[in-house]
Amino acid sequence: MKNCLLCESTGTTYLNNHSGDLWDFLFIQKYTLQTCLYDGASETSISGCEDNCLPLRSIFKDLWYKTNHTEELYYYCSDVFTQYASDCATCLRSKSGSVILGNFMDNMDSACETKPNASAGETITLRRPLFDLSTATSNTTSTSTSSATATGTGDNGGRGAASSSSLSTGAKAGIGVGAGVGGLMILGAAAWLLLARRRRGAAQGGAHQYEPPMEQGPASELSYGAGAPVEQVTVKQFGELAAVERTEVELDGGNGGVRRGDNAVELP
Comparing 16 with 251, the larger pLDDT belongs to: 16
* Contacting residues for 215 by C-beta, under 8 A, at least 6 apart: 223, 224, 225
Q: Read off the pLDDT band of 267 (50, 70, 90).
A: low
**What's the pLDDT tens digit per position in 221-245?**
444 444 445 455 455 554 555 554 5
- The predicted pLDDT at position 164 comes to 40
- Residue 15 φ/ψ, nearest 5 degrees: -110, -50
pLDDT, mean over the chain:
71
The model carries a pTM of: 0.54
Q: Read off the pLDDT band of 262 (50, 70, 90).
A: low
- Of 70-84, 137-151, 168-182, minimum mean pLDDT range: 137-151
The answer, yes or no, to whether residue 24 has pLDDT greater than 50, is yes
Comparing 101 with 137, the larger pLDDT belongs to: 101
**What's the pLDDT tens digit per position in 108-137?**
999 999 999 999 999 999 999 999 999 855
The answer, yes or no, to whether residue 14 has pLDDT greater than 70, is yes
The answer, yes or no, to whether residue 146 has pLDDT greater than 50, is no
The answer, yes or no, to whether residue 55 has pLDDT greater than 50, is yes
The answer, yes or no, to whether residue 36 has pLDDT greater than 70, is yes
